[in-house]
């Protein structure tokens, strides 16, 4: 059996496992191993796509998962840094406005 045949067999077997679950959620199958599921986000319809892929040579899902987790953590840290910087800028801007208002008020009184 060639590598292509092995990947196709594995992909089709996984697709068969998922078919019943996806059908139960009204998924629309549009290829041998691809489905779309309609989700409601608020009052808007959003389609999500699920496609089964098979990988072999040099693919380690555990390493890939660890890399993904590390990347997600780095993104979360970056978002937290941006949120902190934004909050600090808002606080600085507010302090400047208050100082300016106080100076204007003192000038008006003086």
For 63-94, the pLDDT digits (tens) are 999 999 999 999 999 999 999 999 999 999 99
Task: DSSP for 8-72, please give it.
Answer: HHHHHHHHHHHHHHHHHTT-EEEETTEEEEEEEETTEEEEEEEE-----TT--HHHHHHHHHHHH
Tell whether 78 and 52 lie within a shared domain.
Answer: no
HSE-CB at 110 with a 13 A cutoff on CA atoms is: 6
Tell whether 16 and 46 lie within a shared domain.
Answer: yes
Mean pLDDT on 13-34:
92
Tell whether 44 and 85 lie within a shared domain.
Answer: no
| Residue 38 lies in domain | 1-57
Tell whether 89 and 110 lie within a shared domain.
Answer: yes
Mean pLDDT on 33-47:
96
Q: What is the mean pLDDT of the chain?
A: 93
- Please give the Cα distance from 101 to 110 (Å, whole number): 14
From 18, 38, 57, the end of a domain falls on 57
Mean pLDDT on 14-29:
92
How many independent structural domains does the chain possess?
Answer: 2
Tell whether 53 and 64 lie within a shared domain.
Answer: no
Residue 96 has pLDDT above 80, yes or no: yes
> At 47, phi and psi to the nearest 5?
-90, 135
Tell whether 1 and 53 lie within a shared domain.
Answer: yes
Tell whether 65 and 84 lie within a shared domain.
Answer: yes
Q: pTM for the complete prediction?
A: 0.58
Mean pLDDT on 13-30:
92
């Amino acid at each position: 059996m060639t590598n292509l045949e092995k990947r196709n067999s594995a992909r089709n077997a996984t697709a068969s496992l998922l078919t019943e679950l996806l059908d139960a959620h009204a998924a629309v199958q549009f290829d041998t191993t691809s489905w779309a599921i309609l989700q409601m986000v608020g009052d808007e319809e959003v389609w999500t796509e699920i496609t089964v892929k098979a990988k072999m040579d040099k693919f380690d899902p555990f390493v890939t998962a660890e890399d993904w987790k590390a990347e997600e953590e780095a993104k979360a840290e970056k978002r937290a840094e941006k949120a902190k910087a934004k909050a600090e800028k808002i606080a600085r801007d507010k302090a400047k406005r208050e100082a300016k208002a106080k100076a204007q008020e003192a000038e008006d009184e003086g």
